[in-house]
Structure 1
Amino acid sequence: MLIRLIDGINEIVGRIVSLVAIIFAAMIIYDVVMRYVFNAPTRWAFDVTRQLYGFYFIMLGGYALRHQSHVRVDLLIEHLSAGARRWVEIAGYFIFFFPFTWVFLTRSIEFAQRSWNQGETTYGSVQLPVYPLKIAMAVAAGLLFIQGISEVLKLVLHKEAKNDFA
């Protein structure tokens, strides 16, 4: 039940966030057309697309982990039995993954709070608020952390990842 809930949350977030890529591409095309066809470059497009790309990239971490799309180095465990490989992966989550995501989560929350309190904006030609992106970092860290919990539970319970949303 918990595995399905966590996987479902990251699946839904991943699918919604992937729509940002369409908006991102449309903005870049708009800026290119305005710049080269009408000789009227936009002042805001670079800053907005950079923030959208950051949002897009960071928010898909949990979704990528759910679909086993993160970079893996299996050279050390490829010759182990399935059971030994599973326990090495579990140990890897506890030694590397959870400490990293915990630091990422706690620091991102602090980072977002400070940005919110200061009303932080970009320094470019258009001053956009930065705190939404920093809040997204904290949310993404939380999503990545809970997806790690789901992956460890799958390893412990010998469950295969199912894609109920396909």
Structure 2
Amino acid sequence: MINGIIKALGTIEKIGSFIAAMFMFLIMVIVFSDVVMRYVFNRPFSWAYDLIALYLMAGVFFLILSEAYASNAHVNVDILQQKLSPVGIRLTEMVTCIIGIVVFSLIAWFGWQRTLDSYRAADVMAGAIPWPMWPSIGLVPLGAGLLTFRLALHLVGHLLSLLTGRDIIPLPTSHIASEAETFE
């Protein structure tokens, strides 16, 4: 059952990653076009910075959080884990998941509250175009919520791995590197 949930979450994360990649592509197109408009036609886009800073960069960051964690593409300080047994590594991963769940669920909750407040108040950004603020703010609870769910699944998976002796959630290969592969 947990594998089905992980697969479904992975599909959602892939969709978020695709959208983040499209946002990154849009950033490149907008920046290039803005430079051409500025230096060739002396008519830069007045909206480019606002769109990129408010929406696209937030989307790139928050829509990729959960998949980055799932694929171990995040920064990981594992110097102590290299000295631990697989059981010890799982226990430290569980502690990490618990701390992450607390932190990111709070970010998701308060982000959601802020999104609702912004929507109800019809907040807009002062600038060339009055961009509504709530879609940008809403990316925070979306990304943090997905990561919280991923962390909860990993916590359960690590616990089940300890209890059953099967790798429900496999340990990253960087955690179980041999002595010859370390910098020490």
What is the CA-CA distance between 1:59 and the residue it aligns to? 1.5
Give runs of ≥4 in structure 1 deviating > 4 Å. none
- TM-score if structure 1 supplies the norm length? 0.89
Task: Please name the residue that 2:61 is paired with.
Answer: 57
Higher RCO, 1 or 2 (CA under 8 Å, sep at least 6)? 1
Contact 2:58 2:139 survives alignment (8 Å)? no
1:49-87 residue CA offsets vs partner (Å, 9 max, x unmatched): 112112211211111111111211112222101121111
Opposite residue 147 of structure 1, the aligned amino acid is R
Secondary structure (helix, strand or coil) at the match of 1:19 reads: helix
Match of 2:106 in 1: 103
- Residue ranges of structure 1 left out of the alignment (5+ in a row): 162-166
Q: 1:114 is matched with which residue?
A: 117
**Does the CA contact (< 8 Å) of 1:7 and 1:147 recur in 2?**
no
1:140 and 2:149 aligned:
no
- What is the aligned-residue RMSD (CA, Å)? 1.5
CA offset digits 1:94-150 (Å, max 9, x no partner): 1x1011011111101101001101111112232211110111212112111111123
Distance 1:108 1:114 in 2: 10
Letter in 2 for 1:130: M
> Aligned partner of 2:168: which letter?
K
Larger Rg: 2
Cα pair 1:62 1:147 within 8 Å, conserved? yes
Q: 41-50 or 9-18, which moves further after superposition?
A: 9-18
Paired position in structure 1 for 2:74:
70
Identity fraction in percent? 23
What residue identity is the alignment partner of 1:62?
Answer: S
Aligned partner of residue 15 in structure 1, secondary structure:
helix
Structure 2: where are the runs of 5+ without partners?
Answer: 162-166, 171-184
Q: Distance in 1 between matches of 2:116 and 2:43?
A: 37
Aligned length: 160
Which runs of structure 2 are paired with 1:1-166 in the superposition (5 Å)? 1-51=4-54, 52-94=56-98, 96-156=99-159, 157=161, 158-160=167-169
State the one-letter code of the partner of 1:142.
G
Distance 2:139 2:41 in 1: 35
C-alpha separation between the residues in 2 aligned to 1:31 and 1:11? 30
